[in-house]
């Protein structure tokens, strides 16, 4: 069973973005499971790298749709995306150098700031516009 499950109440009113959010939940769950299984540092780093790559294309898709729908909160939302990406990229680098701990630093950030705050709160704000 997944630890952090996407729920229909998180829907942002767009099927493609909802699928991408579900995939993000899945990748973060996989990362958590890899860590719980005690997998090697390199496989955990690879999982984090795939999360970063997926996120980059997901944010780009979300931003394109917000622009297309002339979402008034676009600039602030884009800044949050840039900050999230900067932070997760920095964690990836620090993890490579053995300066960051996935369980203590990276996962709480991914789960709290990202899944629980960005997707379920911030992203929900553009939902009425996209589903209109």
By beta-carbon proximity to Fe ion, the closer residue of 44 and 71 is 71
Q: Is residue 123 near Fe ion by the rule CB under 5 A?
A: yes
Give the interface segment with Fe ion, choosing from 30-38, 40-48, 55-63, 92-100 (CB under 5 A).
Answer: 55-63
By beta-carbon proximity to Fe ion, the closer residue of 78 and 94 is 78
- HSE-up (13 A, CA, CB side) for residue 50: 14
Give the interface segment with Fe ion, choosing from 12-20, 43-51, 59-67, 88-96 (CB under 5 A).
Answer: 59-67
By beta-carbon proximity to Fe ion, the closer residue of 32 and 62 is 62
Rounded to whole angstroms, the Cα distance separating 113 from 125 reads: 16
Q: Is residue 84 near Fe ion by the rule CB under 5 A?
A: no
Cα 124 to the center of its chain, rounded Å: 14
Picking from 16, 1, 2, 8, the residue whose alpha carbon sits closest to that of residue 120 is: 8
Give the interface segment with Fe ion, choosing from 26-34, 67-75, 99-107, 123-131 (CB under 5 A).
Answer: 123-131
Q: Is residue 58 near Fe ion by the rule CB under 5 A?
A: no
CB crowding 29-57: b at 16 or more within 10 Å, else e:
bebbebbeeeeeeeebeebbeebeeebee
As given in the structure block, the two tokens for residue 21 are: 């959010």
Task: Give contact residues for Fe ion (rule: CB under 5 A).
Answer: 62, 123
């Amino acid at each position: 069973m997944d630890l952090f499950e996407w729920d229909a109440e998180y829907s942002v009113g767009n099927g493609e973005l909802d699928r991408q959010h579900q995939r993000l939940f899945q990748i973060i769950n996989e990362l958590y499971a890899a860590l719980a299984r005690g997998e090697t540092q390199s496989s955990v780093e690879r999982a984090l790298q795939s999360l970063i790559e997926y996120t980059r294309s997901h944010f780009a898709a979300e931003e394109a749709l917000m622009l297309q729908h002339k979402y008034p909160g676009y600039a602030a939302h884009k800044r949050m995306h840039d900050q999230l990406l900067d932070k997760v990229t920095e964690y990836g680098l620090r993890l490579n150098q053995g300066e960051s701990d996935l369980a203590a630093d990276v996962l709480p950030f991914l789960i709290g700031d990202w899944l629980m705050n960005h997707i379920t709160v911030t992203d929900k704000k553009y939902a009425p516009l996209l589903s209109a």
